[in-house]
A and B are shown apart, each in its own frame.
Chain A
Amino acid sequence: QQQVKQSPQSLIVQKGGIPIINCAYENTAFDYFPWYQQFPGKGPALLIAIRPDVSEKKEGRFTISFNKSAKQFSLHIMDSQPGDSATYFCAATLRGSTLGRLYFGRGTQLTVWP
């Protein structure tokens, strides 16, 4: 029940396209949903995060859409660029978690062609 399911595993889009990565969870005790971006040879880095009391959050070209009733959330990348090619992980933490243990999805490898 502590799983976060992520799809697709890989995604290829043309420059300017809008890749969408989807995640779903079962445990309603999750109350914070960060997305991490990882480039080859680097560790995951926080990209954007959302709490379940809002349905959408935008930061630059990155948008999270959140559907609390469906227990689903997704990352949209507007006007995608080759530099966005990376692995994206959705994650979640539990309400009241003292040190914020992250539960990760399996990751999506995004390739943006020029």
Chain B
Amino acid sequence: EPEVTQTPSHQVTQMGQEVILRCVPISNHLYFYWYRQILGQKVEFLVSFYNNEISEKSEIFDDQFSVERPDGSNFTLKIRSTKLEDSAMYFCASSTNRGSTDTQYFGPGTRLTVL
């Protein structure tokens, strides 16, 4: 069964450093998402992406964050200058169709630790 994959599974970085989290969505999916979950808190939406454009972003997704689909398979989340509060599990998701009822398939996550 096709899966969303994410690399690395765990990333440790120093505050102020740039990190890039990578995702390979399911191959025929066209809609992509990033969510994050700070330890002990709920999963929060960051951004949705379609046709090489951001469709929607949350208040969390400030100028320090960017997303890109650099080729036909990868979808990346970049944090330019990490802060301690960026430490979280980051989940990538993808779906075949747009719309409020379409199933989003989640990857296993990347645990980001900012020291």
Task: Tally chain B residues at the interface, Cβ within 8 Å.
Answer: 29
Q: Does A12 belong to the interface (CB within 8 Å)? A: no
The secondary-structure label for the interface of chain A is: loop
Cα separation A96 to B98 with both chains bound (whole Å): 10
Q: Does B56 belong to the interface (CB within 8 Å)? A: yes
Cα separation A15 to B15 with both chains bound (whole Å): 45
Identify which of A45, A100, A101, A107 contacts B101 (C-beta below 8 A).
A100
- Are B108 and A43 within 8 A (Cβ)? yes
- Are A104 and B42 within 8 A (Cβ)? yes
Q: Which residues of A contact B98 (CB under 8 A)?
A: 98-100
Q: Which residues of B contact A89 (CB under 8 A)?
A: 42-43
- Are B108 and A94 within 8 A (Cβ)? no
Identify which of B43, B101, B108 contacts A32 (C-beta below 8 A).
B101
A-B contact pairs, 25 of them (CB 8 A): A34-B103, A41-B108, A42-B108, A43-B93, A43-B107, A44-B43, A45-B105, A46-B104, A51-B101, A93-B100, A93-B101, A98-B55, A99-B31, A99-B48, A100-B48, A100-B100, A100-B101, A101-B56, A101-B58, A102-B35, A103-B45, A104-B35, A106-B41, A106-B42, A107-B42
A-side interface residues toward B, CB under 8 Å? 6, 31-32, 34, 36, 41-46, 49, 51, 89, 93-107
